[in-house]
Structure 1
Amino acid sequence: MKQFTLLFTILVAGMSVLQSCKKDRDPDFLMSNQEFVTQASSSHMLEIDAGNLAANDATSDTVKRYGTFLAQSHTAAFDELETLATQKGLTILSEMNDLDQNNYDVLDNSNAEQFDRNFLYLMLLSHQDTYSLYYNASRPNGVPDPQLRAWAAQKLESIEEHFDEAQELYGASSTQ
């Protein structure tokens, strides 16, 4: 239970940090293009690395498959984001931000008995956070660049599907 509380606390703290960055952006937009790319690239790296970890360390075959699926799906999205960002002269992170790295580290240090539930819980929180980021970026006042806005809007459905699957698996894991 401590790990769940820690993961939740870390995600809430990260959301507060994002709000404090507003002073450096165009007041007509919720975030700058670079802020979106930075946050999105870190989020994808977390989900890729956590998915790969689950593919190797999960005890349930279903969770292993979900981890593999997430790693593949987020790798494709990360590659698309990297291509778009490069075209726009924006920088993709080479490492996760501190918040995402801390969440990954908590998961990586989970004992075998708790790993599957911790992974699924992290994916619930992470996909909620990612959906919020992409939803905000896709709004007419989300990010200044119309291509980034359109790309973010295009990804919302798959992020929601990832969340729904994590929720279904997490609920099933509590009945076992």
Structure 2
Amino acid sequence: MKRCIPAGLLVVSLLLNAGCEKAAMRKDSIEIAEEENKARENDSTMNVVREDQVAFMVRAASANMMEVEAGRLAEKLGSNVGVKAFGKSMVNDHTKANQELKEIAAAKNIALPTTVGNEDQKYINKLSKLSGPEFDKEYISMMVKDHRKDTDHFRRAAKDEEFDPEVRTFAGRTLPVVERHLEKARQLDEAIRKAK
């Protein structure tokens, strides 16, 4: 009987340890990047960039990755030709924007997320279970909401004269692309609603 207790404790401890490791794996990549950047604030190799600018860059990187993944799904699962074409342009434009953002971040020693954030991943997971007209409707609806929010963020960053010049230039150069995406998403959303 005495041998069962230690063996039982060993099993329980292994299960608890495995549970802790899974919880750590689920940590949001945005939070990880934010924590790395906070740790780097005291590091002399990090160029001086305001916290709100770092937050803008971290969020933009996650949004770019989400829109690339969602765009790939649109190409694969969408039924509307316009939705498929829009998805392809999301992949191209947001891959390019994210590459430019990564270069700026690297020069300033700023950590960016390496995967989409948890909230964005939930959306990708939801989309991956849909197809056809149901996918088209959900995808385009989300693209309208997401690009509306992104337009506001990029506009603020482009106009803030206290922003780092490179970050501000990136935001100003990317803003018209995001605005075009928003307009196209609205047009597709309207067309899909009328087609019902």
Normalising by structure 2, we get a TM-score of 0.70
Q: Does 1:146 align with 2:165?
A: yes
**C-alpha deviation, 1:126, in angstroms:** 0.9
- For the Cα contact (< 8 Å) 2:154–2:175, is it kept in 1? yes
**C-alpha deviation, 1:53, in angstroms:** 0.5
| Cα distance between partner residues in 2 of 1:161 and 1:48 | 16
* Alignment partner, residue 163 of structure 1: 182
| Cα distance between partner residues in 1 of 2:83 and 2:185 | 9
- For the Cα contact (< 8 Å) 1:43–1:96, is it kept in 2? yes
| Cα distance between partner residues in 1 of 2:93 and 2:189 | 19
- For the Cα contact (< 8 Å) 1:36–1:133, is it kept in 2? yes
Q: Quick one: higher RCO (CA 8 Å, sep 6+), 1 or 2? A: 1
Gap change, CA 1:128 and 1:142, over 3 Å in 2:
farther
Q: Kindly provide the CA deviation profile for residues 71-126 of structure 1, in whole angstroms up to 9, marking residues without a partner as x.
A: 11110011111111111111121111122112222222224341001110111011
| Cα distance between partner residues in 2 of 1:109 and 1:141 | 43
- For the Cα contact (< 8 Å) 1:42–1:96, is it kept in 2? yes
Q: What runs of 5+ residues in structure 1 fail to find an aligned partner?
A: 1-23
- For the Cα contact (< 8 Å) 2:78–2:133, is it kept in 1? no
Q: Which moved more, 1:67-76 or 1:95-104?
A: 95-104
Q: Does 1:76 align with 2:96?
A: yes
Q: What runs of 5+ residues in structure 2 fail to find an aligned partner?
A: 1-37, 39-48
- For the Cα contact (< 8 Å) 1:37–1:91, is it kept in 2? no
| Cα distance between partner residues in 2 of 1:105 and 1:140 | 35
- For the Cα contact (< 8 Å) 1:55–1:63, is it kept in 2? yes
- For the Cα contact (< 8 Å) 2:78–2:131, is it kept in 1? no
- What is the total number of aligned residue pairs between the two structures? 149
Alignment of 1:107-146 (within 5 A): 107-140=127-160, 143=163, 145-146=164-165
Gap change, CA 1:160 and 1:31, over 3 Å in 2:
farther
Alignment of 1:5-154 (within 5 A): 32-140=52-160, 143=163, 145-154=164-173
Higher Rg of the two aligned structures: 2
- For the Cα contact (< 8 Å) 2:75–2:85, is it kept in 1? yes
Q: Report the secondary structure of 1:48's partner residue.
A: helix
The one-letter amino acid of 1:110's match is L
Cα RMSD over matched residues?
A: 2.1
* Alignment partner, residue 193 of structure 2: 174
**C-alpha deviation, 1:154, in angstroms:** 1.5
